Structure 1
Amino acid sequence: MKPNIGITEKNTEAVANYLQKLLADEFVLYTKTKNAHWNIEGADFYDVHKFFESQFGQIDEITDNIAERIRAIGHYTASSLKNFLSLTHLSEVTEHQNDSQGFMRELLESHESIILYIREIITPISDDFKDLGTADFVTGLIVTHEKMAWFLRAHLK
């Protein structure tokens, strides 16, 4: 049964497409953060290992919330790795040593890329597709990513 939430099916489909891309980005970022957690080396190993664990936990919650939002507006999620890789704006490739500085820079760049993408989609979701609930939801994700990016940036000073 399709949801009767005051948004046309055409509009929820457009919004779901934006959210699918965001979900793919988040899943790739989650994987990159897990990689950093598993492969970090150096004198600061323990602290950074725990820091990455905290961050991937937050991203895991974000991915679940995005998938549930897609379902709440009446669509299915693109939930295969192949689909995620075809939809993401991020690169999954890491080209550095397994030290905290390299991982932090790479993850910071990914968070900032997601922040910019969310800023791009808020207005069309709200104004063009009349989905204020999703616009509010993704606006909240900006705040979360900005804080996570700040923590990464602080490690790089």
Structure 2
Amino acid sequence: MRKFLLPVVSCLFLTACSVGGQIPSEDNDTFFNQAKSHRYADTMEFTVPRSVGAVAKSFQAGAPCLNRRVEEISYGPRSGGRSVSNYRGVVVSGPGSVTLNLRRQGTTAVVGGTNAEYRLAMAEARAVPGGSRIRIAGPSTNYDDVYRAMSQWARGNPAGCPKFRI
């Protein structure tokens, strides 16, 4: 039973599974709240003294750094195979907010060749008096450099392109 429940619970949070062709957690508030309550996710919130427009420009400049293709070959006692993941940074602007999404599309031999695209992580800026409120959320392992870069871009600091440790 444990072997079945862990992938299902992880799948529901990390939006790696689609239900009826719809990908859950595309709403920023839902995604962030799910991440806050999930043990395998990280979240951070902070305020910066920058306008949403300035944060948007930083996100747009940094988003191309997230466009990556990662190939991995894994061998294990119960599973193994080749997986290919395509990552892309997508900036979405709305009234009084901007969101940088890290989206992943991948095929894995272990999962059976799925090719669905889903949101893996997000960095959102919302206008507040005196600046912008930043919220960052995503999986808790392997993406620390990505979150650090998103945080620095939101603050207006040059961060370069993050390393992917997949």
TM-score category, normalised to shorter length: 0.3 to 0.5
TM-score by length of 1: 0.35
Instruction: Kindly indicate which of the two structures has a greater share of residues assigned to strand.
Output: 2
TM-score by length of 2: 0.34
Instruction: Kindly indicate which of the two structures has a greater share of residues assigned to helix.
Output: 1
